Copies of this chain bind each other. A is one copy, B any other.
């Protein structure tokens, strides 16, 4: 008598959400492999921002979804502290439960059989229910392990017996010039990135995964992002950040297979082997002082960025995707792109060829006591080594944009490789 139906009369045990997840995606030909890169479905996401709600990405594959997957429009990100009582078996249990739930959620299913309304009247529902009737909406769920899981970092103990398996590169990030980190927005033992085209679907995922963790891991900090600031596919239009500039033009795109392999995935030949096919995730909550930025002259804004504010072309000329020419000079003999411009300092040529895959989001979280919007960029980057981020961030110490930025949150995670059917995320770590 009680289905999870979104609209019509109540039916049997299969909800509309389930139907859309199982059949809608298939019928539309929108189910794509997580590791596959570009797809038919990708083309449905256009500049006007109307992706196909029924599209579903495979959860199982060679890599976790949500990295090279075409960047979805909305984000809910969560970092967790493991509870002091959690032991190795408990951690494995949590990861297993999270994996099983994520495999279902990403296909548009409820968090477990029974769901929001199919269980007993005398038990709390298995699923919190706010996504009933909503299709998969391109949801991806990506898991990561912070240094604390390996007994590294302030006050961490090796209660999981994993210290010897810690990736040598995984440790708390060094302090950078201009850091104004708030402890409550920094760090975390575990992380979950939920990206979707419908924010209600992303929030539903984090809420239910957080609920599953009750007594085992506690939400440390979390962040909603309302609009992507990166493209991870050549089929996506470049979005704008809250400085009003196109962001991520030179991002590693999923179609650049060689670059993805070189800069994003941990190789089988890298240490440790359990992380092969994975990546390192750096998360930074970067507050933008947009009210000050908005008082800067247009010409100076463009000089600071090194690109035009309209088309996003480098100041050395061309169109958005023209490679910047740092040697090009203007009539006075000065370089058209200043050596301290953001695009120059962030460019691979200034950083030993380093690139990374960015997956950031714009955020606004109310306002401060001065009436300034608490707005900015929730920066997410995936790279083969945290050193790639560290190198670029150090290069950016000379960036004139820093006057308008404040890094208030920071975290780094090792993101295990893809999950095979029947496995839990990070299983190789415990082998």
Contact = CB atoms under 8 A, between A and B. Distances in A.
Interface of A: 2-10, 15, 47-50, 53-54, 74, 76, 81, 116-117, 119-125, 127-135, 137, 184, 198-200, 203, 206-207, 210-211, 214, 218-224, 226-227, 237-245, 290-291, 294-299, 301-302, 308-311, 313, 319-320, 362, 364-367, 369-373, 375
B366 A365 contact: yes
A200 B219 contact: no
A14 to B, nearest CB: 12
User: Max chain B CB contacts within 10 Å: which of A116, A200, A219?
Assistant: A200
B211 A294 contact: yes
Identical chains bound together, number: 2
B298 A117 contact: yes
Contact of A74 (B2, B7, B117, B226): B226
A210 B367 CA distance: 11
Contacts of A319: 8-10
B298 A124 contact: yes
A295 to B, nearest CB: 5
A78 to B, nearest CB: 8
19 contacts: A2-B308, A3-B310, A3-B311, A4-B310, A7-B311, A8-B319, A10-B310, A50-B50, A117-B309, A119-B298, A120-B297, A120-B298, A121-B299, A125-B294, A125-B301, A129-B309, A133-B240, A184-B369, A220-B371
Chain A facing B: main interface SS? loop
A369 B220 CA distance: 8
Contacts of A15: 310
B294 A124 contact: yes
Given A221-B367, A365-B365, 6 more contacts: A129-B309, A130-B362, A132-B309, A132-B310, A200-B226, A214-B291
A311 B365 contact: no
A283 to B, nearest CB: 14
Contacts of A117: 298, 308-310
A30 to B, nearest CB: 12
A340 B6 CA distance: 26
User: Max chain B CB contacts within 10 Å: which of A50, A135, A243?
Assistant: A50
